[in-house]
Homo-oligomer: A and B are copies of this chain.
């Protein structure tokens, strides 16, 4: 927790202003909470999104169906206006079964539990074969140099550090191997890359996720291996038992296709030209139902509209629930939303994103001006009874980031992070991994923040 959060905690406890306004606001937030816990539809809607729509990578039939179905949910929730924002998105396809094996010095081979990284190129039809080179860091790779790397398959076996209490910190540290690893290896002549799955737990589920090729480097195939698989492969390498590794993948990037952000709006009663954006991203990886990533953020945003309507709350400022398209492998939806925002004669005062899972909310992160933060700080006591205590400096979300140059205060919901990385981008990110109460509690504090900004502005 940053120093800022402590300041906020102190500030809020002593703020006379907060105490003065807290009674009526506290009652209203309790009403919202009761409505969400008694009649909430987010969980049912999430079941639909996960089980009837399913995986919805940008450009896929699932994504198209998700656009249609969340537009329906927003209409049913009671949004005044529901519309689509067209945007072109990349269309990456995994193709048929991906296989890998380690050929051992005794002539036998063992299968490698792999999946291609998102946006990666596939192998030739005959696959790729190479000696394996295990490294734990870029420094180690670069110290080996082109002579030793050339023609090899590089295995980045960087373990997510379990000592970080916030798993996003460990994810940030380890994530560079997934995003930059292929190009850094290719620069030294590697023919392929295997990245240890970004997960703190040992299991057999490889996690995908986007990689990013440097345009001036050869694009080489890149896969993730499960954590158990990484441990096994590393053991075999240490024992000198691996002769070569074979990988065959079939993924490729097709032409961009048309897709959409989905927007549902409640028009502000007093300041309709001040816009509050609340959302999550609608696309998911192809391997997962995208329950926590990020079905929950989308369903929570729709539920805010529904609960306001159900309670007859007419927000003073306009509230838009936005399902952003293409967060996972392009961010085209978030970029398009900000691009359109720039052309609208409105003020985009605040944007709140929920894209860290539908877990119990612990706090918020803020990227905002001092004046904006000061006002938000005065509301902090209202969140206490919902256990949402940690107000941290810095935060927002990938999709709302492009709004920052417009002066928009960005807020990220920070749920408890312990379980997220276990299932993130893996086939285990399914509806059953979501707790209805945790999901609802997240909605409540998001709705409270939206309500307060809609009442008082920023």
Contact = CB atoms under 8 A, between A and B. Distances in A.
A146 interface: no
Interface string A373-391: 0000000000011110110
A25 interface: no
Given A9-B9, A13-B10, A165 B386 contact: yes
13 contacts: A6-B13, A9-B9, A37-B163, A38-B162, A200-B437, A201-B437, A360-B418, A362-B387, A387-B390, A389-B389, A418-B437, A418-B438, A422-B435
B419 A163 contact: no
6 residue pairs, one from A and one from B, having the closest CB atoms: A418-B437, A37-B162, A418-B438, A34-B163, A419-B435, A360-B416
Among A1, A6, A386, A416, the most chain B Cβ lie within 10 Å of the Cβ of A416
A9 B389 CA distance: 11
Given A200-B437, A362-B387, A435-B419, A163 B10 contact: no
A171 to B, nearest CB: 13
Interface residues of A, number: 32
A167 B37 contact: no
A4 B413 CA distance: 27
Nearest to A165: B386
A420 to B, nearest CB: 10
A33 interface: yes
A419 B390 contact: no
Nearest to A416: B360
A455 interface: no
Among A34, A162, A435, A441, the most chain B Cβ lie within 10 Å of the Cβ of A162
A393 interface: no
A273 interface: no
B437 A167 contact: yes
Nearest to A389: B389
A134 interface: no
A33 B162 CA distance: 10
Contact of A419 (B6, B167, B362, B438): B438
A142 interface: no
A442 to B, nearest CB: 10
A418 B435 contact: yes
Given A1-B385, A387-B362, A387-B390, A163 B38 contact: yes
A437 B162 contact: yes
Nearest to A39: B162
A418 B441 contact: yes
Contacts of A362: 387
Contacts of A390: 387, 389
A386 B165 CA distance: 7
Contacts of A162: 37-38, 437
Contact of A165 (B1, B33, B38, B200): B33
Nearest to A444: B165
